[in-house]
Amino acid sequence: MSEEEVILVDADDRPVGSAGKLAAHQENLRHRAISVLVFDREGRMLLQRRAEAKYHSPGLWSNACCTHPRHGEEPAEAAGRRLREEMGIALPLAFAGRFAYEAPVGEELWENEVVHVFTGIHEGAILPDPDEVGAFGWREVEALRADIAARGELYTPWFRLYAAAPWFSRPAS
């Protein structure tokens, strides 16, 4: 099977080419991504601890899921697909905004992404894929922010940056 490709983009999220996913992370190439933040009706956020087998950021806590849209796939479609694949849930998602960042994520690996962020509310069972998710749980947002400030090394670099964003504490309306 060939390596999954990512969509390379400029600073305004306009496609400029493609690259293999691993190469994009090794060469620090800006690419399109999605992130999904899931809340329950009480406003708690669903977190996942990335599986130990992940090639970057293994064992770190993060948002419900992340991925890269495939060629021809809209970001909203990618968000729904990956939420089903990683967490075993399907729910209506709302676009919350775009977020650009660059951060080291492991030995000689970088994230350099323009992220389309989606939020949603979920009540019910969660059936994570154990190849993707090592653990999951719900956290009250203010306690989570405090924990990120105190013990940031337990969280993915992008998730630490998300903590200051307005969509971190509530689903988009």
122-173 pLDDT tens trace: 999 999 999 999 999 999 999 999 999 999 999 999 999 999 888 888 665 4
Average pLDDT over residues 57-61: 95
Closest CA to 62 of 49, 43, 44, 79: 49
Catalytic, 65? Answer: no
Task: Indicate the domain borders of the chain.
Answer: 5-168
pLDDT at 169: 82
Point out the catalytic residue in the list 65, 86, 111, 113. 113
Share of the chain above pLDDT 70, in %: 97
Beta strands 5-9 and 15-20 are antiparallel
| From the candidate CATH numbers 3.30.420.40, 3.90.1150.10, 3.90.79.10, 1.10.1660.10, the one assigned to the domain spanning 5-168 | 3.90.79.10
Choose between 173 and 51: higher pLDDT. Answer: 51
Predicted confidence band of residue 1 (pLDDT cuts 50, 70, 90): very low
Point out the catalytic residue in the list 66, 107, 111, 153. 66
- Share the mean pLDDT of the chain: 94
